[in-house]
Amino acid sequence: MTAPLRVVQVVCSDAFAGVERYVANVSNSLAEVGCEVSVLGGDRQRMTKELSGDQKGWWPAATVPEAIRGLIRVGHVDIVHTHMTAAEMAAATVRIASSGRFVTTRHFAARRGSGLPGRLASVAIRRLVHSQLAVSDYVAARVDGPSVVLPSGVPNQASVPPEKRTPVVLVAQRLEAEKQTDLALRAWQRSELALSGWELHLAGDGAQVGHLRRLAEELGVTDSCRFLGRRDDMAERYQTASLFLALQPDEALGLSVLEAMAAGLPVVAAAGGGHLETVGAAPDAALFAPGDVEEAAQLLRSLGADQERRQAYGQQLQALQRQRFDSSVQAKKMVVLYERLINGDR
Protein backbone atom coordinates (compact mmCIF):
# COMPACT_ATOMS: atom_id res chain seq x y z
CA MET A 1 0.00 0.00 0.00
CA THR A 2 1.43 3.40 -1.04
CA ALA A 3 1.79 5.89 1.80
CA PRO A 4 -0.34 9.04 1.37
CA LEU A 5 1.37 12.24 0.32
CA ARG A 6 2.10 14.50 3.28
CA VAL A 7 1.42 18.13 2.40
CA VAL A 8 1.52 21.36 4.37
CA GLN A 9 -0.26 24.46 3.03
CA VAL A 10 1.17 27.75 4.33
CA VAL A 11 -0.19 31.31 4.29
CA CYS A 12 1.24 33.98 6.61
CA SER A 13 -2.00 35.56 7.73
CA ASP A 14 -4.55 35.82 10.51
CA ALA A 15 -7.32 36.84 8.08
CA PHE A 16 -9.84 34.95 5.99
CA ALA A 17 -10.13 36.51 2.54
CA GLY A 18 -9.63 35.14 -0.97
CA VAL A 19 -6.24 33.47 -0.51
CA GLU A 20 -7.20 31.89 2.81
CA ARG A 21 -10.44 30.59 1.28
CA TYR A 22 -8.38 29.12 -1.55
CA VAL A 23 -6.13 27.38 0.98
CA ALA A 24 -9.12 25.93 2.84
CA ASN A 25 -10.76 24.73 -0.38
CA VAL A 26 -7.65 23.11 -1.80
CA SER A 27 -6.72 21.53 1.54
CA ASN A 28 -10.16 19.92 1.82
CA SER A 29 -9.99 18.69 -1.77
CA LEU A 30 -6.50 17.23 -1.30
CA ALA A 31 -7.65 15.42 1.84
CA GLU A 32 -10.59 13.98 -0.12
CA VAL A 33 -8.22 12.44 -2.69
CA GLY A 34 -6.09 10.82 0.00
CA CYS A 35 -3.39 13.32 1.02
CA GLU A 36 -2.44 14.03 4.63
CA VAL A 37 -2.78 17.80 4.85
CA SER A 38 -1.65 20.25 7.52
CA VAL A 39 -2.45 23.95 7.32
CA LEU A 40 -0.54 26.93 8.69
CA GLY A 41 -2.13 30.38 8.82
CA GLY A 42 -5.44 32.15 8.40
CA ASP A 43 -8.03 33.28 10.92
CA ARG A 44 -8.26 30.62 13.62
CA GLN A 45 -12.05 30.52 13.92
CA ARG A 46 -12.84 30.64 10.20
CA MET A 47 -10.06 28.34 9.07
CA THR A 48 -10.79 25.62 11.62
CA LYS A 49 -14.48 25.88 10.75
CA GLU A 50 -13.89 25.62 6.99
CA LEU A 51 -11.36 22.79 7.11
CA SER A 52 -12.81 19.29 6.96
CA GLY A 53 -12.28 16.72 9.68
CA ASP A 54 -9.75 14.92 7.47
CA GLN A 55 -7.03 17.52 8.07
CA LYS A 56 -3.92 16.56 10.06
CA GLY A 57 -3.94 19.85 11.93
CA TRP A 58 -4.07 23.64 11.83
CA TRP A 59 -1.57 26.04 13.43
CA PRO A 60 -1.40 29.84 13.48
CA ALA A 61 1.12 31.54 11.18
CA ALA A 62 0.38 35.25 11.14
CA THR A 63 4.07 36.17 10.77
CA VAL A 64 7.13 34.70 9.10
CA PRO A 65 8.72 33.59 12.42
CA GLU A 66 5.42 31.94 13.45
CA ALA A 67 5.23 30.15 10.09
CA ILE A 68 8.83 28.94 10.49
CA ARG A 69 7.98 27.54 13.93
CA GLY A 70 4.89 25.88 12.45
CA LEU A 71 6.88 24.24 9.67
CA ILE A 72 9.38 22.90 12.21
CA ARG A 73 6.49 21.60 14.35
CA VAL A 74 4.89 19.83 11.38
CA GLY A 75 8.16 18.11 10.60
CA HIS A 76 8.93 16.12 7.47
CA VAL A 77 6.45 16.44 4.64
CA ASP A 78 6.59 15.55 0.97
CA ILE A 79 5.34 18.97 -0.18
CA VAL A 80 5.53 22.46 1.33
CA HIS A 81 2.97 24.51 -0.59
CA THR A 82 3.04 28.26 0.04
CA HIS A 83 0.78 31.19 -0.77
CA MET A 84 2.07 34.81 -0.95
CA THR A 85 5.58 36.10 -0.38
CA ALA A 86 5.73 35.97 3.42
CA ALA A 87 4.90 32.26 3.41
CA GLU A 88 7.50 31.73 0.67
CA MET A 89 10.09 33.43 2.87
CA ALA A 90 9.29 31.10 5.77
CA ALA A 91 9.45 28.01 3.55
CA ALA A 92 12.69 29.16 1.93
CA THR A 93 14.25 29.49 5.39
CA VAL A 94 13.20 25.99 6.43
CA ARG A 95 13.86 24.53 2.96
CA ILE A 96 17.62 24.77 3.52
CA ALA A 97 17.34 21.89 6.02
CA SER A 98 14.40 20.07 4.44
CA SER A 99 14.11 17.44 1.73
CA GLY A 100 10.45 18.21 0.95
CA ARG A 101 9.52 19.73 -2.40
CA PHE A 102 8.72 23.44 -2.38
CA VAL A 103 5.64 24.52 -4.39
CA THR A 104 4.15 28.00 -4.46
CA THR A 105 0.92 29.41 -5.89
CA ARG A 106 0.83 32.95 -7.24
CA HIS A 107 -2.49 34.62 -6.51
CA PHE A 108 -1.87 38.18 -7.71
CA ALA A 109 -0.93 39.60 -11.08
CA ALA A 110 2.27 41.28 -9.92
CA ARG A 111 5.92 40.55 -9.36
CA ARG A 112 6.89 38.98 -6.05
CA GLY A 113 7.17 41.19 -2.97
CA SER A 114 5.38 44.49 -2.39
CA GLY A 115 8.13 45.71 -0.05
CA LEU A 116 11.92 45.69 0.03
CA PRO A 117 12.25 42.50 2.17
CA GLY A 118 10.08 40.57 -0.27
CA ARG A 119 12.00 41.82 -3.28
CA LEU A 120 15.33 40.94 -1.67
CA ALA A 121 14.03 37.49 -0.74
CA SER A 122 12.69 36.87 -4.25
CA VAL A 123 16.09 35.83 -5.58
CA ALA A 124 16.44 33.04 -3.01
CA ILE A 125 12.79 32.05 -3.38
CA ARG A 126 13.07 31.65 -7.15
CA ARG A 127 16.17 29.49 -6.69
CA LEU A 128 14.58 27.21 -4.10
CA VAL A 129 11.05 26.79 -5.49
CA HIS A 130 10.59 23.52 -7.35
CA SER A 131 7.34 24.53 -9.06
CA GLN A 132 5.38 27.76 -9.34
CA LEU A 133 1.64 27.65 -10.00
CA ALA A 134 -0.62 30.50 -11.10
CA VAL A 135 -4.37 30.69 -10.56
CA SER A 136 -5.01 32.03 -14.08
CA ASP A 137 -3.39 32.84 -17.40
CA TYR A 138 -3.81 36.50 -16.46
CA VAL A 139 -1.64 36.01 -13.36
CA ALA A 140 0.91 33.79 -15.12
CA ALA A 141 1.57 36.49 -17.72
CA ARG A 142 2.33 39.11 -15.06
CA VAL A 143 4.41 37.39 -12.38
CA ASP A 144 8.15 36.80 -12.28
CA GLY A 145 9.29 33.37 -13.37
CA PRO A 146 7.62 30.57 -15.35
CA SER A 147 4.34 29.21 -13.99
CA VAL A 148 2.09 26.21 -14.42
CA VAL A 149 -1.48 27.52 -14.74
CA LEU A 150 -3.80 25.60 -12.44
CA PRO A 151 -7.08 27.51 -12.10
CA SER A 152 -8.81 27.70 -8.75
CA GLY A 153 -11.63 25.25 -8.18
CA VAL A 154 -14.70 25.28 -5.96
CA PRO A 155 -17.04 22.48 -4.90
CA ASN A 156 -19.94 21.73 -7.20
CA GLN A 157 -23.39 22.82 -6.00
CA ALA A 158 -26.88 21.56 -6.70
CA SER A 159 -29.03 23.48 -9.17
CA VAL A 160 -31.46 25.99 -7.65
CA PRO A 161 -35.09 26.22 -8.84
CA PRO A 162 -36.04 29.72 -10.06
CA GLU A 163 -38.77 30.11 -7.44
CA LYS A 164 -36.18 29.92 -4.66
CA ARG A 165 -34.41 33.04 -5.90
CA THR A 166 -35.33 36.53 -4.72
CA PRO A 167 -34.97 39.86 -6.60
CA VAL A 168 -31.50 40.64 -5.24
CA VAL A 169 -28.30 41.79 -6.93
CA LEU A 170 -25.44 40.48 -4.78
CA VAL A 171 -21.94 41.93 -4.43
CA ALA A 172 -19.45 39.94 -2.29
CA GLN A 173 -15.98 41.43 -1.81
CA ARG A 174 -13.76 43.43 0.50
CA LEU A 175 -14.97 47.02 0.59
CA GLU A 176 -11.63 48.54 -0.38
CA ALA A 177 -10.85 51.14 -3.04
CA GLU A 178 -9.30 48.71 -5.53
CA LYS A 179 -12.52 46.67 -5.59
CA GLN A 180 -14.46 49.61 -7.12
CA THR A 181 -17.62 49.02 -5.11
CA ASP A 182 -18.72 52.61 -5.78
CA LEU A 183 -19.36 51.51 -9.37
CA ALA A 184 -21.88 48.97 -8.04
CA LEU A 185 -23.87 51.72 -6.35
CA ARG A 186 -23.80 53.96 -9.42
CA ALA A 187 -24.79 51.11 -11.76
CA TRP A 188 -27.51 50.10 -9.32
CA GLN A 189 -29.01 53.59 -9.33
CA ARG A 190 -29.01 53.81 -13.12
CA SER A 191 -30.44 50.31 -13.58
CA GLU A 192 -33.66 51.45 -11.85
CA LEU A 193 -34.27 47.87 -10.71
CA ALA A 194 -35.34 49.22 -7.32
CA LEU A 195 -38.54 50.49 -8.99
CA SER A 196 -39.42 46.83 -9.68
CA GLY A 197 -38.83 45.73 -6.08
CA TRP A 198 -35.21 44.61 -6.40
CA GLU A 199 -32.52 45.21 -3.77
CA LEU A 200 -28.71 45.52 -3.87
CA HIS A 201 -26.94 43.51 -1.16
CA LEU A 202 -23.29 44.28 -0.38
CA ALA A 203 -21.52 41.51 1.57
CA GLY A 204 -18.11 42.36 3.00
CA ASP A 205 -16.33 44.93 5.10
CA GLY A 206 -13.36 47.25 4.72
CA ALA A 207 -12.11 50.81 4.85
CA GLN A 208 -14.64 52.05 2.27
CA VAL A 209 -17.79 51.24 4.27
CA GLY A 210 -18.39 54.79 5.47
CA HIS A 211 -17.70 56.29 2.05
CA LEU A 212 -20.04 53.81 0.37
CA ARG A 213 -22.85 54.47 2.82
CA ARG A 214 -22.54 58.20 2.17
CA LEU A 215 -22.49 57.59 -1.59
CA ALA A 216 -25.67 55.48 -1.35
CA GLU A 217 -27.33 58.38 0.43
CA GLU A 218 -26.13 60.89 -2.18
CA LEU A 219 -27.43 58.68 -4.98
CA GLY A 220 -30.80 58.26 -3.27
CA VAL A 221 -30.59 54.45 -3.12
CA THR A 222 -30.29 53.90 0.64
CA ASP A 223 -33.73 52.31 0.91
CA SER A 224 -32.91 49.64 -1.69
CA CYS A 225 -29.33 48.90 -0.54
CA ARG A 226 -28.36 46.59 2.30
CA PHE A 227 -24.83 46.60 3.73
CA LEU A 228 -24.53 43.07 5.11
CA GLY A 229 -21.01 43.25 6.54
CA ARG A 230 -18.83 40.17 6.70
CA ARG A 231 -20.96 37.05 6.31
CA ASP A 232 -20.59 33.37 7.08
CA ASP A 233 -23.68 32.38 5.07
CA MET A 234 -22.53 33.18 1.54
CA ALA A 235 -23.34 29.71 0.19
CA GLU A 236 -27.01 30.32 0.98
CA ARG A 237 -26.92 33.83 -0.47
CA TYR A 238 -25.52 32.57 -3.77
CA GLN A 239 -28.54 30.27 -3.95
CA THR A 240 -31.17 32.90 -3.15
CA ALA A 241 -29.93 35.97 -5.05
CA SER A 242 -30.85 36.45 -8.72
CA LEU A 243 -27.79 38.33 -10.04
CA PHE A 244 -24.14 38.66 -8.98
CA LEU A 245 -22.07 41.75 -9.79
CA ALA A 246 -18.24 41.50 -10.05
CA LEU A 247 -16.49 44.84 -10.50
CA GLN A 248 -12.70 44.62 -10.20
CA PRO A 249 -11.22 44.70 -13.73
CA ASP A 250 -7.85 43.22 -12.70
CA GLU A 251 -9.17 40.35 -10.59
CA ALA A 252 -6.69 37.46 -10.58
CA LEU A 253 -9.50 34.96 -11.13
CA GLY A 254 -12.29 35.62 -8.63
CA LEU A 255 -13.20 32.94 -6.09
CA SER A 256 -16.55 34.59 -5.32
CA VAL A 257 -17.37 34.57 -9.02
CA LEU A 258 -16.63 30.83 -9.17
CA GLU A 259 -18.82 30.21 -6.13
CA ALA A 260 -21.65 32.18 -7.76
CA MET A 261 -21.19 30.16 -10.97
CA ALA A 262 -21.29 26.90 -8.99
CA ALA A 263 -24.69 27.93 -7.62
CA GLY A 264 -25.98 28.78 -11.10
CA LEU A 265 -26.17 32.47 -10.19
CA PRO A 266 -25.93 34.75 -13.26
CA VAL A 267 -22.83 36.97 -13.11
CA VAL A 268 -22.39 40.47 -14.54
CA ALA A 269 -18.65 41.21 -14.55
CA ALA A 270 -16.06 43.73 -15.65
CA ALA A 271 -14.42 42.56 -18.87
CA GLY A 272 -10.88 42.29 -17.55
CA GLY A 273 -8.43 40.12 -15.61
CA GLY A 274 -9.49 36.62 -14.70
CA HIS A 275 -13.15 37.37 -15.41
CA LEU A 276 -12.36 36.82 -19.08
CA GLU A 277 -11.31 33.24 -18.23
CA THR A 278 -14.36 32.47 -16.06
CA VAL A 279 -17.52 34.39 -16.98
CA GLY A 280 -15.98 35.38 -20.30
CA ALA A 281 -15.83 31.75 -21.44
CA ALA A 282 -19.64 31.43 -21.39
CA PRO A 283 -21.48 31.85 -24.74
CA ASP A 284 -23.76 34.56 -23.32
CA ALA A 285 -21.23 36.25 -21.03
CA ALA A 286 -22.58 39.44 -19.43
CA LEU A 287 -19.44 41.58 -19.48
CA PHE A 288 -19.14 45.36 -19.35
CA ALA A 289 -16.17 47.54 -20.21
CA PRO A 290 -14.18 48.23 -17.01
CA GLY A 291 -15.51 51.36 -15.31
CA ASP A 292 -18.49 51.70 -17.67
CA VAL A 293 -21.39 52.44 -15.31
CA GLU A 294 -23.96 52.74 -18.09
CA GLU A 295 -23.10 49.38 -19.63
CA ALA A 296 -23.13 47.66 -16.24
CA ALA A 297 -26.52 49.23 -15.48
CA GLN A 298 -27.92 48.16 -18.83
CA LEU A 299 -26.86 44.55 -18.25
CA LEU A 300 -28.43 44.55 -14.79
CA ARG A 301 -31.62 46.08 -16.18
CA SER A 302 -31.99 43.66 -19.09
CA LEU A 303 -31.18 40.53 -17.05
CA GLY A 304 -33.36 41.73 -14.19
CA ALA A 305 -36.34 41.94 -16.54
CA ASP A 306 -35.93 38.46 -18.06
CA GLN A 307 -36.13 35.46 -15.73
CA GLU A 308 -35.78 32.90 -18.53
CA ARG A 309 -32.60 34.56 -19.75
CA ARG A 310 -31.22 34.63 -16.21
CA GLN A 311 -31.95 30.95 -15.75
CA ALA A 312 -30.35 29.94 -19.06
CA TYR A 313 -27.28 32.09 -18.40
CA GLY A 314 -26.93 30.72 -14.85
CA GLN A 315 -27.04 27.18 -16.23
CA GLN A 316 -24.28 28.04 -18.72
CA LEU A 317 -22.08 29.36 -15.92
CA GLN A 318 -22.76 26.36 -13.69
CA ALA A 319 -21.86 23.94 -16.50
CA LEU A 320 -18.66 25.91 -17.15
CA GLN A 321 -17.66 25.78 -13.48
CA ARG A 322 -18.19 22.03 -13.34
CA GLN A 323 -16.15 21.55 -16.50
CA ARG A 324 -13.19 23.85 -15.77
CA PHE A 325 -13.25 24.97 -12.13
CA ASP A 326 -14.17 21.87 -10.10
CA SER A 327 -12.17 21.66 -6.84
CA SER A 328 -11.84 17.85 -7.02
CA VAL A 329 -10.35 18.09 -10.53
CA GLN A 330 -7.99 20.82 -9.32
CA ALA A 331 -6.82 18.60 -6.44
CA LYS A 332 -6.19 15.60 -8.71
CA LYS A 333 -4.11 17.74 -11.07
CA MET A 334 -2.20 19.13 -8.10
CA VAL A 335 -1.41 15.62 -6.85
CA VAL A 336 -0.07 14.66 -10.29
CA LEU A 337 2.22 17.69 -10.16
CA TYR A 338 3.31 16.84 -6.59
CA GLU A 339 4.14 13.26 -7.58
CA ARG A 340 6.19 14.41 -10.58
CA LEU A 341 8.25 16.64 -8.31
CA ILE A 342 8.78 13.90 -5.76
CA ASN A 343 9.95 11.61 -8.56
CA GLY A 344 12.51 14.20 -9.63
CA ASP A 345 10.74 15.91 -12.55
CA ARG A 346 10.51 19.70 -12.47
pLDDT tens sequence across 281-301: 999 999 999 999 999 999 999
Q: What are the distances in angstroms from CA 248 to CA 18, 29, 175, 209, 252?
A: 14, 27, 11, 17, 9
Give the domain 6-153+326-342 fold. Rossmann fold (3.40.50)
pLDDT for res 187: 98
Per-residue model confidence (pLDDT) at position 304 = 98
Give the pLDDT of residue 296.
Answer: 98
Same fold? 6-153+326-342, 162-324 = yes
Closest CA to 9 of 28, 43, 18: 28
Angle at 71 between CA 21 and CA 134, to 5 degrees: 40
Residue 229 CB coordination number (10 Å) = 11
293-304 helix and 307-324 helix, angle to the nearest 10 degrees = 110
Residue 256, CB-side half-sphere exposure with 13 Å CA sphere: 25
pLDDT value for 96:
54
| Burial of residue 158, with CB atoms counted within 10 A of its CB: 0-12 exposed, 13-18 middle, 19 or more buried | exposed
Torsion 336-340-342-343 (CA) sign: positive
CATH number of 162-324: 3.40.50.2000
Q: Which residues of the chain have pLDDT under 50?
A: 1, 97
In the chain, where are the structural domains located?
6-153+326-342, 162-324
- The pLDDT of residue 122: 80
Instruction: Write down the pLDDT at residue 237.
Output: 97
Q: Are the beta carbons of 135 and 106 closer than 8 angstroms? A: yes
- Residues forming a β-bridge with 102: 80
Neighbours of 163 (CB within 10 A): 7
